[in-house]
Amino acid sequence: MTSRHGRTESAVSATADTAPLTPRRRTVVKAAAATAALAGPLAAALPARAVQTAPAFLHGVASGDPLPDGVLLWTRVTPTPDALPGSGAGPDTEVRWTVARDRAFTDVVAQGTVLATAASDHTVKADVRGLRPATDYWFRFSAGGADSPAGRTRTAPAPDASVAGLRLGVVSCANWEAGHFAAYRHLAARGDLDAWLHLGDYIYEYGTGDYGTRGTVVRPHSPAHEIVTLADYRTRHARYKTDPDLQALHAAAPVVAIWDDHEFANDTWSGGAENHTEGAEGAWAARQAAAKQAYFEWMPVRPAVEGTTYRRLRFGKLADLSLLDLRSFRSQQVSLGDGDVDDPGRTLTGRAQLDWLKAGLSASDTTWRLVGTSVMISPFALGSLPASLLKPLAKLLGLPQEGLALNTDQWDGYTADRRELLAHLRGNAIRNTVFLTGDIHMAWANDVPVNAGTYPLSASAATEFVVTSVTSDNLDDILKVGEGTVSAVAAPLIRAANRHVHWVDTDRHGFGVLDLTAERAQMDYYVLSDRTRADAAATWARSYRTRSGTQRIERADAPV
């Protein structure tokens, strides 16, 4: 593992005045849009407190997007009792941020101020620079005599550093109403994460009771209706950040996040979403803009190209991480089994993003090339045929050439983009590419074949680790059967029809921990005892790894 200790000389902020000191899913459900008061539901979610006489930090602190010389810090201040998220109320408030080498803040290395206003929902960000690489820091905010909780963050290694190891928590798909976020609590308690990766569906847009919970709403959304407006999205983000386990994880390590569809609406594409009715729910462009604005206000994420989430981070010579936005530029999904999935005119990534990804993979000089993708890239089909029969039959019947796509919201629905990317990896002999994926509410360990119909006799271009959901419905939840029931039947059938799939668990909730060394990339999969319990236990389920240079997955006997 990388060192957890280090010293720094100075730190400054790139976005705020500074005063350095010395030393320095997926379920197709329609939700109704109704009106509801903002104050009541959110107030009920906040801790009981005396009459507020000073600004308060009710939503915790967070850091994100670590760089070798800095990190992005985040909080939300409530300056007055009426300044609830999404309300547009509350005065401008000066917030001071402080970064120190120690938890007691006796060795401060940088500080500065930023103005929190209603225009940004009283959220604040400080992009702090001038820190030392691969170093732990503590940070906090203050306003009007009140201090926020303290958070721990960590900078990335220097670009040319030889890094012994990197450890990332990996999560996706957290439906507030379906349960508690024990997965976040267990990751926060580890104390050994360099960062954690959220692969999308950080929030869900549905109204209360309108998305799968096995018929039991464990805790209601705020607002109660489907979120459509800027105020709605702000209030929903705020509700999530009252969760103590999410606050704990944000305070324990920096997050690297991308969005998927439910940060907007189910099955989002560039011009709309399955869960959006144009006109009745306003214009899609307005809803999309509202969702993006709230996301960047409430998440410690730097807006990247065109205000999207695609960007790249580097962790010394060991790994770089290309993060994708697979919602802003994609063509609309086609119907199940539609041969249009092979249409080269359709795209998942958009041309500019795909070119950016290919160029970055080609130019990479790190041992590992990690790609954060919100939807599964490995093909998933039933009844695969040999390539000699599949392609001509598919052409005759108008079916996808890579097998009958069961989920056209994934890369299966955009096979031209996938073929181009995998051909690029093979044609340029780009090794050690690992896709890290969420969305599908199941855990998978896959090779990524160039030609699924002839695999494993043909080549694998990469490997893929898919993490299950934190709380969102698995297959057993949808069918309302005992945990493990579906997986016992489905997993062997899935593996028989998809020979590149080494393991799939269709039924359990949990999280992953990715551990990298120069020799191997290993994903340890953990499962929760009960998503509805705040005190749910976490146990190790499986581990899979890919050894450097192999492009194939193998089972590991124990977690690292």
Domain boundaries, the chain: 12-154
User: Beta strand 368-373 with 433-437: parallel, antiparallel or unpaired?
Assistant: parallel
What H or E segment, with its residue span, contains residue 354? helix 351-363
Q: How confident is the model at residue 15 (pLDDT cuts 50, 70, 90)?
A: very low
- Please state which of the ranges 91-95, 353-357, 447-451, 482-486 shows the lowest mean pLDDT: 482-486
Q: How confident is the model at residue 295 (pLDDT cuts 50, 70, 90)?
A: very high
pLDDT of residue 279: 95
- Span 512-522, mean pLDDT? 98
Please determine, for residue 217, whether its predicted confidence score (pLDDT) is greater than 70: yes
Q: Answer for the pair 134, 2: CB distance below 8 angstroms, yes or no.
A: yes
Q: How confident is the model at residue 96 (pLDDT cuts 50, 70, 90)?
A: very high
Please determine, for residue 382, whether its predicted confidence score (pLDDT) is greater than 70: no
Q: How confident is the model at residue 465 (pLDDT cuts 50, 70, 90)?
A: very high
pLDDT of residue 20: 33
- Span 55-60, mean pLDDT? 97
Please determine, for residue 445, whether its predicted confidence score (pLDDT) is greater than 90: yes
Sign of CA dihedral 521, 527, 533, 536: negative
Q: Answer for the pair 180, 163: CB distance below 8 angstroms, yes or no.
A: no
Dihedral of CA atoms 245, 246, 252, 254 in degrees, nearest 10, equals 160
**What single DSSP character describes residue 332?**
P
Highest-confidence segment of 24-33, 372-381, 513-522: 513-522
Higher pLDDT, 324 or 5: 324
pLDDT of residue 212: 84
Q: How confident is the model at residue 307 (pLDDT cuts 50, 70, 90)?
A: confident
- Span 497-505, mean pLDDT? 94
Q: What superfamily in CATH does domain 12-154 come from?
A: Purple acid phosphatase-like, N-terminal (2.60.40.380)
pLDDT of residue 405: 55
Task: Please give the share of the chain, as a percent, with pLDDT higher than 70.
Answer: 85
Sign of CA dihedral 135, 141, 146, 151: negative
pLDDT of residue 48: 47
User: Beta strand 136-143 with 123-129: parallel, antiparallel or unpaired?
Assistant: unpaired
Please determine, for residue 392, whether its predicted confidence score (pLDDT) is greater than 90: no
pLDDT of residue 337: 63
- Span 270-298, mean pLDDT? 97
Sequence-distant (6+) residues with CB within 8 A of 476 are 482, 483, 484, 485, 486, 487, 506, 507
pLDDT of residue 306: 72
Q: Answer for the pair 315, 157: CB distance below 8 angstroms, yes or no.
A: yes
pLDDT of residue 338: 64
Radius of gyration of the chain (CA): 23
Sequence-distant (6+) residues with CB within 8 A of 392 are none
CA distances from 199 to 145, 407, 427, 437 (A): 37, 18, 28, 6
Q: Answer for the pair 175, 27: CB distance below 8 angstroms, yes or no.
A: no
Q: Answer for the pair 256, 195: CB distance below 8 angstroms, yes or no.
A: yes
Alpha carbon 214 to its chain's center: 24
- Span 312-339, mean pLDDT? 92
Average pLDDT over the chain, rounded to an integer: 88
* Phi and psi torsions of 455, nearest 5°: -70, 140
pLDDT of residue 189: 98
- Span 429-436, mean pLDDT? 98
Please determine, for residue 441, whether its predicted confidence score (pLDDT) is greater than 90: yes
Tokens (6 digits) for 296: 């960047």
Please determine, for residue 234, whether its predicted confidence score (pLDDT) is greater than 80: yes
Please determine, for residue 22, whether its predicted confidence score (pLDDT) is greater than 50: no
In this structure, how many other beta carbons lie within 10 angstroms of the beta carbon of residue 305?
14
- Cα 143 to Cα 114: distance, rounded to the nearest angstrom: 10
Q: Answer for the pair 370, 320: CB distance below 8 angstroms, yes or no.
A: yes
Sequence-distant (6+) residues with CB within 8 A of 158 are 68, 133, 134, 316
CA angle centred on 551, ends 546 and 554, rounded to 5°: 35
Q: How confident is the model at residue 493 (pLDDT cuts 50, 70, 90)?
A: confident
Sign of CA dihedral 323, 499, 550, 425: negative
Task: Please give the share of the chain, as a percent, with pLDDT higher than 90.
Answer: 77
Please determine, for residue 40, whether its predicted confidence score (pLDDT) is greater than 70: no
* Phi and psi torsions of 509, nearest 5°: -100, 155
Higher pLDDT, 336 or 259: 259
- Span 379-407, mean pLDDT? 55
- Cα 226 to Cα 260: distance, rounded to the nearest angstrom: 17
pLDDT of residue 406: 65
Q: How confident is the model at residue 27 (pLDDT cuts 50, 70, 90)?
A: very low
Among 80, 124, 141, which residue's Cα sits nearest to residue 297? Answer: 124
pLDDT tens sequence across 520-529: 999 999 999 9
- Span 90-108, mean pLDDT? 98
Residue 160: exposure state from Cβ atoms within 10 A (0-12, 13-18, ≥19): exposed
Residue 161: exposure state from Cβ atoms within 10 A (0-12, 13-18, ≥19): middle
Among 445, 440, 424, which residue's Cα sits nearest to residue 349? Answer: 424
- Please state which of the ranges 41-55, 141-155, 453-467 shows the lowest mean pLDDT: 41-55
Please determine, for residue 427, whether its predicted confidence score (pLDDT) is greater than 80: yes
Helical pair 284-298 and 230-240, crossing angle rounded to 10 deg: 30
CA distances from 405 to 379, 382, 410 (A): 8, 8, 9
pLDDT of residue 207: 97
Tokens (6 digits) for 74: 């985040």
- Cα 406 to Cα 410: distance, rounded to the nearest angstrom: 9
How many residues in total does the chain contain?
560
